[in-house]
């Protein structure tokens, strides 16, 4: 299979590309780095480009079998109007340009990242793929992002909308940000810690991508998250146990809002998302529980 990946040098992209290459697939990828030094394989090719703009990079989609769209500016930054525009454009414009470049009437698999942020703040409600979207900034981004991806169906593509929970893995992502604080006895819940936290171990995320690529009946929105979401304070306690650290520090909501601005609302919102569709199709999680997942990440 010939696979094209946007955001290929990112946390998820480099792991996914490496796995697909190991399985014998031909992988090409695009990123914003002038040069990449994280993926080394004889059948991997890299393109440096700004995917929010049409350009020669789109020619690489002429004969692909699958497109995996991972591009997107990190949401973790001070949310000025300019930064929010970068978050939005990096997702919507990239996806639009990808779909425009897809060949007509070819059975391409178009797997486009979304996020559980699509649902907004769901409180204690269980959120499945059929749950309605929210109305905050990230929910609107998710709605428009998915709408752009679904245009690929008009070209005959099978579209999968991978709604990510928080990806937990080694040497990157959220764990890279929180581990130093917890190891220094300064980690703990955010706000009151009662908000639900949708998460997925990197190994299960990669396996879910393999699963949907191979299963022709999977299409539309798919929650890429563990079947066992946890509250934020339970995540903190589990990480403390794995690290053998007491967890007594709590970051007040007011302080988060002062330091993070509008982003704080996204960090404190509750999303009790579950992977109903993956489970219905028979996908099996290697790390369904948070403590086993954290133990693997921290101690191996």
End-to-end CA distance of the chain: 32
Asked if residue 251 is part of any domain, the answer here is no
pLDDT in tens, 204-241: 999 999 999 999 999 999 999 999 999 999 999 999 99
CA distances to 78, 85, 184, 254, 255 from 259, rounded to whole Å, are 9, 20, 21, 9, 6
The mean pLDDT value for 6-25 works out to 95
Q: Name the residue range of residue 157's domain.
A: 2-171+199-227
Alpha-carbon span 8 to 190, nearest angstrom: 31
Asked if residue 95 is part of any domain, the answer here is yes
The count of domains in the chain is: 1
284 vs 185, higher pLDDT: 284
Contacts of 45 (CB under 8 A, 6+ apart): 27, 28, 29
pLDDT(3) > 90: yes
Helix%, strand%, coil% for the chain, nearest 5: 40, 20, 40
Q: Residues 37, 40, 41, CA angle at the centre, nearest 5°?
A: 155
CATH number, domain containing residue 157: 3.40.50.720
Asked if residue 146 is part of any domain, the answer here is yes
pLDDT(29) > 80: yes
Q: What is the mean pLDDT of the chain?
A: 94
pLDDT in tens, 260-294: 888 888 889 999 999 999 999 999 999 999 999 99
pLDDT(161) > 90: yes
pTM, to two decimals: 0.95
pLDDT(202) > 90: yes
pLDDT of residue 37: 82
pLDDT in tens, 63-91: 999 999 999 999 988 899 999 999 999 99
pLDDT of residue 76: 86
Q: Say if strands 26-31 and 2-6 run parallel, antiparallel, or are unpaired.
A: parallel
pLDDT(194) > 90: yes
Instruction: Give yes or no for a contact between 70 and 64, defined as CB atoms under 8 angstroms apart.
Output: no
The phi and psi torsions of 139 (rounded to 5 degrees) equal: -65, -40
SS3 65: coil
Alpha-carbon span 222 to 20, nearest angstrom: 20
pLDDT of residue 34: 86
Asked if residue 69 is part of any domain, the answer here is yes
Asked if residue 97 is part of any domain, the answer here is yes
Asked if residue 42 is part of any domain, the answer here is yes
56 vs 300, higher pLDDT: 56
Asked if residue 180 is part of any domain, the answer here is no
Instruction: Give yes or no for a contact between 51 and 57, defined as CB atoms under 8 angstroms apart.
Output: yes
The residue among 184, 232, 226, 236 whose CA lies nearest residue 205 is 226
């Amino acid at each position: 299979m010939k696979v094209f990946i946007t955001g290929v040098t990112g946390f998820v992209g480099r792991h996914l590309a490496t796995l697909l290459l190991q399985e014998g697939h031909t992988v090409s990828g695009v990123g914003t780095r002038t040069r990449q030094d994280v993926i080394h394989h004889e059948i991997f090719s890299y393109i440096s480009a700004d995917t929010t703009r049409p350009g020669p990079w789109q020619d690489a989609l002429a004969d692909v079998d699958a497109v995996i769209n991972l591009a997107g500016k990190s949401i973790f930054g001070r949310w000025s109007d300019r930064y929010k525009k970068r978050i939005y454009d990096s997702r919507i414009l990239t996806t639009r340009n990808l779909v425009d470049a897809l060949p007509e009437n070819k059975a391409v698999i178009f797997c486009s990242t979304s996020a559980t942020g699509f649902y907004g703040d769901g409180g204690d409600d269980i959120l499945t793929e059929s749950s309605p979207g929210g109305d905050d900034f990230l929910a609107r981004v998710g709605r428009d992002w998915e709408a752009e991806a679904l245009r690929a169906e008009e070209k005959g593509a099978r579209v999968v909308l991978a709604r990510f929970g928080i990806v937990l893995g080694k040497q990157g992502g959220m764990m890279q940000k929180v581990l130093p604080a917890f190891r220094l006895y300064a980690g703990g819940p955010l706000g009151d810690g009662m908000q639900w936290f949708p998460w997925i171990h990197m190994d299960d995320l990669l396996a879910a991508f393999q699963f949907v690529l191979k299963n022709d009946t999977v299409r539309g929105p798919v929650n890429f998250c563990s079947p066992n979401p946890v509250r934020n304070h339970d995540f903190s306690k589990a990480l403390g146990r794995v690290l053998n650290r007491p967890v007594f520090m709590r970051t007040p909501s007011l302080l988060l809002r002062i330091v993070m601005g509008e982003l704080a609302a996204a960090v404190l919102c509750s999303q009790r998302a579950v992977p109903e569709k993956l489970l219905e199709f028979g996908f099996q999680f290697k790390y369904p529980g948070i403590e086993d997942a954290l133990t693997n990440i921290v101690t191996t």
